[in-house]
Amino acid sequence: MAKKSFLFIVLMLLTLSIAHAQDKEPQYAGVDKDLTGVTLRMATIGGQPYEAMYDSIKVFEEKTNAKVEIVFLGDGFEIDRYLKTNYAAGTVDFDVAWNHTSFMAQYTDFVEPLNSYFTPEELAVFSPAIIQAATIDGNLQLIPRHADISSLHYRLDLFNDADLQAQFKAKYGYDLLPPTTLKQMYDMAEFFVASGKIRYGTQFAGKEEALNGRFYEMLLANGGNYFDDDLNPIFNSEAGKMTAQWMQDLYKNKLIPADTTNLLWPEVAQNFCNGDVALYLEWPGWYSFFQDKTKCPAIAGNFGLARGPVGAEGTIHTGWAGAHAFSVTKASQNKEAAVQLVKFLTSEAVAYDEAKLGLLPVRSDVWTRIIADANASAVPLDKERLELAQIQIAEDFRAVPSFKDWITFGNEWFPQLQSIILGDVSVDDGLAKATDSIKTLMADLGY
């Protein structure tokens, strides 16, 4: 329901906005108060493609006379560990912290509710579905920065090769087009590797929450789920076995990298950038990196995007999604100033700069701008990807289960899933053992 509401609101706003194209420059927010003498400290996510935004902080400093120190930069898992450790030990010395819809349930006791710091007009520009999801027990936990939803990335040269098309049709009995099912995705990965034209048919990040999330979206697509309504693990189902078997077969048949279980986001993106992968599911934030001829000459202008495939259930597409965000810590000594920084970092101007890199915006005004830019672009994919993202956000948005110990559950689960993928245990035994250990874990955690 929330997703349909979001689609309706987005489409309505877009229709109105495109019809009355905006002429004024994108606006900064949070720069109207003087913060001379104030130093704000921020712990946030680093790495490609997140750090480009932080260059804009000097604009905030110039306009407000504040000083901003970034006290920690790390990937999603490093920043999560850093935040959890400091929150729990009471050693928080930063004002603004990274947050994420997948991780926020852990931090609720340590972040300042933002409801009273934003007017309804200020919040209205953000995705209502994300704002609603970010409100726990009536407290707004975060302000979203950009959205992520995985889409299928595939090599145009391979799919457009006439010889390969004929061979594929002869062997598998259907056309070589971007896969619409997980079974087709497996067939194509197998075919491309056998053809000798590509190193890996597909890939996925094989550790940490990165692996859990991929498994989750495919589990949903196959008609399963991690937990029931009472948080009892139920992924030892036919859908779970099908999903685990799919991953195990990919590894066993060498269709994915041999070091898959060591890969995280930067490594899988680099593999695709190097031209080593035929098709896989990836976040939209890498778009400008992949289109950069100097960084990714093998694939710039040579890849397409498609909706995630459906699984055995038949109608549910994969679409692992979430939103990166910022929060203000309860320990902050200057919450008003910290909120100003958050307003700045999520303002139209900063969000627009980020959206131009490929990250999906969460503000309706920025959507308007990037769609107008895409309409004027000579690259068709610039427009197609936004149209695709709108459909996916509206219909395929699969956020991970929101409970406090999602990460703890994941840390217990992913090594066992790795054991299944690597063939250390069979799918049946691995899933049975995993669900038993998760039941014990959930009991220990008080569920």
Partner 1 sequence: MIQSNALKTQAAPTKQDIAANRFAQQGRWFPWFMLAPSLIIIAFVVLYPMLYSVYISLTPFNLLRPETAAFDITKIFRNYERLLDDDVFWKSVINTVLFLTITVNLEYVLALILSQLIARVTWGQSVIRTLLMVPMMFAPVLVGFQFAWFFNATVGLVNNALMTLGLMAESKAWLVDQPSGMIALMIASIWMNVPVMTIILLAGTLSLPAEVYESAEVDGAGWWVQFRHITLPLLQPFVLIALTIRSLDVGRAYDIVRIMTNGGPANRTQVIWTYAGEMAIRNSRFGLASAMSMVGVVLGVAFTLYLFWQLIRSRIVH
Give residues in contact with partner 1 (CB under 8 A): 81, 84-85, 87-89, 106, 109, 206-207, 257-262, 267, 271, 404, 407-408, 411-412, 415-416, 418-419, 421-422, 424, 440, 444-446
Q: Could you tell me the smallest distance in angstroms from the CB atom of residue 338 to partner 1?
A: 22
Give, in order, the Cα–Cα distances in Å from 59 to each of 64, 68, 325, 350, 356.
9, 11, 20, 10, 18
Cβ neighbour number for residue 336 with a 10 Å cutoff? 12
Give, in order, the Cα–Cα distances in Å from 53 to each of 146, 287, 371.
11, 15, 20
Length of the chain: 447
Considering the complex, state which of residue 336 and residue 424 has its C-beta at the smaller distance from partner 1. Answer: 424
Considering the complex, state which of residue 122 and residue 267 has its C-beta at the smaller distance from partner 1. Answer: 267
What tokens appear for 141 in the block?
């936990």
Considering the complex, state which of residue 89 and residue 378 has its C-beta at the smaller distance from partner 1. Answer: 89
User: Does residue 122 contact residue 153 with C-beta atoms inside 8 Å?
Assistant: no
Name the amino acid, one letter, at 316.
I
Q: Could you tell me the smallest distance in angstroms from the CB atom of residue 425 to partner 1?
A: 9
Q: Could you tell me the smallest distance in angstroms from the CB atom of residue 135 to partner 1?
A: 20
The pairing of beta strand 151-155 with beta strand 143-149: unpaired
For 178, how many CA atoms within 13 A lie in the half-sphere containing its CB?
17
Q: Could you tell me the smallest distance in angstroms from the CB atom of residue 50 to partner 1?
A: 21
Q: What are the beta bridge partners of residue 433?
A: none
Nearest to 33 by CA among 335, 256, 253: 335
Residue 196: strand, helix, or coil: coil
Considering the complex, state which of residue 21 and residue 89 has its C-beta at the smaller distance from partner 1. Answer: 89
Considering the complex, state which of residue 150 and residue 271 has its C-beta at the smaller distance from partner 1. Answer: 271
Q: Could you tell me the smallest distance in angstroms from the CB atom of residue 384 to partner 1?
A: 31
Considering the complex, state which of residue 87 and residue 226 has its C-beta at the smaller distance from partner 1. Answer: 87
Q: Could you tell me the smallest distance in angstroms from the CB atom of residue 189 to partner 1?
A: 18
Q: Could you tell me the smallest distance in angstroms from the CB atom of residue 439 to partner 1?
A: 13
CA-CA distance, 308 to 59, in Å (whole number)?
A: 38
Q: Could you tell me the smallest distance in angstroms from the CB atom of residue 6 to partner 1?
A: 31
Considering the complex, state which of residue 336 and residue 429 has its C-beta at the smaller distance from partner 1. Answer: 429
Considering the complex, state which of residue 3 and residue 207 has its C-beta at the smaller distance from partner 1. Answer: 207
Considering the complex, state which of residue 89 and residue 170 has its C-beta at the smaller distance from partner 1. Answer: 89
Considering the complex, state which of residue 64 and residue 236 has its C-beta at the smaller distance from partner 1. Answer: 236
User: Does residue 293 contact residue 302 with C-beta atoms inside 8 Å?
Assistant: no
Q: Could you tell me the smallest distance in angstroms from the CB atom of residue 412 to partner 1?
A: 8
DSSP assignment string, 342-404: HHHHTSHHHHHHHHHHTPBP-BHHHHHHHHHHHHH-S-HHHHHHHHHHHHHHHH--BPPP--T
- Crossing angle of helices 364-376 and 348-357, in 10° steps, is 40
> Chain-centre distance of CA 186, in angstroms?
23
Cis preceding-peptide flag for 361 (omega within 30 of 0): no
- Crossing angle of helices 57-64 and 335-345, in 10° steps, is 130
Q: Could you tell me the smallest distance in angstroms from the CB atom of residue 436 to partner 1?
A: 10
Q: Could you tell me the smallest distance in angstroms from the CB atom of residue 132 to partner 1?
A: 24
- Crossing angle of helices 238-252 and 427-444, in 10° steps, is 120
CA-CA distance, 221 to 372, in Å (whole number)?
A: 33
Residue 237: strand, helix, or coil: coil
Considering the complex, state which of residue 301 and residue 423 has its C-beta at the smaller distance from partner 1. Answer: 423
